[in-house]
Amino acid sequence: MDFTTLIDVESLRTLIGTPGTLVLDCRFDLAAPTAGRQAHLLGHIPGARYLDLNRDLSAPVSATSGRHPLPDPQALAAHLAGFGLGPDTQAVVYDESNGSFAARAWWLLRWLGHPKVAVLDGGMDAWLRAKGTLESGEPARGAADPGAGGAHGAGGAHGAKGARGPVAVQVDRRAVVGTDELIAALDNPRTLLIDARAAERFTGAVEPIDPVAGHIPGAANHPFSANLRADGRFLPREELERSWRDRLGAASPTDVIVMCGSGVTACHNLLALERAGFAGARLYAGSWSEWIRDPRRPVAGGSARG
C-alpha cells in the first residue's frame, strides 16, 4: 500500500526497518532555528534523517524573495538521494505534532515528482503517545550508491535500500505561482487566494514576524490550524471535505492559490485539500513576506510596524 497524504503511527511502525522506506524528521522552531536538529540528535523515530527548514527545504533569502524561497530542485533531490530516496521509496515526513513543517517537505517531494510521501499524522507527539521507540545521534553518512537510490549510511536498514536508481527530478512547474503570475491571476474572478496564517495575522491585528501587517486584497483566510483536531492530528477525511467544500464554494480546486507568511504552512492547506479530495491547487511560494517586499503592492487590513 502506498501512502501519499497521511500515515498513522501503526502503519509507520510496520514499515520501519523494511526495504524502500525513508523517514525524514522535519522538526523546526522559527524562533530557535537550531532546536529542531538538537531535538533530532536527542531522540528521533528509528532510522530518521533530519531535514532543516532553512538549510534543506529553502534556498537562501534574496533581496526580492520571501523568508523561505523554494530550494533548488536538483540540490534537494541530490540531498534526498544521499539519504536513500529512490523512485520506489515510501517517504514519511514528520515534525513535532501538527504537520506545519512536515507538510513543506511533503509538498516539495511531490513538486520534485515523488508522489509516495506521507506526513505522519500527529507527528512525534503521536509516536510517543503510542510508545514508539526512539534513536539518538545520527548515523554516519556513507558514499552514495546509485543502484540503491542513496547512501549506504542512510539509516542502515531503515533507509531506502532496495530502491531502483536515484529519483528522477520532474518538477511540476504548474504547482508554483510567482508574484507577477499571482497579480495577473487576481484579475480573474475565478481565482480564489487562500491565506493559511492565523486570523489575527491575516486581519493585521498582530504581526510577530514580518515588517508589514495585513493581507493581500481579495484573499480569504483559512488558518492551517482549522485542518486539525486538538491533539495535532488532521480532522477525519469527511470533516476536511465538508470544511473545504464550504471554503471553496463554487471555485474549482485548480483555480485555488494558497499562501501564508513564507510558503511553509500554506503547504498544510495543500495537504488538507489533497486529503479532502480537492487536488489541483497551487502554491504562491513567496507568500506574504515576498509580497510586501515592494511597497507599491496593495495591502488590506494592516500597516507597517513602526
Cite the active site residues.
260
Name 209's Cβ contacts closer than 8 Å, sequence gap at least 6: 30, 67, 261, 289
Do β-strands 90-94 and 117-120 pair in parallel, antiparallel, or remain unpaired? parallel
Q: What are the backbone dihedrals phi and psi of residue 194, each rounded to the nearest 5 degrees, phi first?
A: -120, 125
Helix, strand, or coil (residue 230) = coil
C-alpha cell at 70: 523554494
Note whether 269 and 223 are within 8 A (CB). Answer: no
CB atoms within 10 A of CB 75: 11
305: left (phi over 0), alpha (psi -120 to 50) or beta: beta
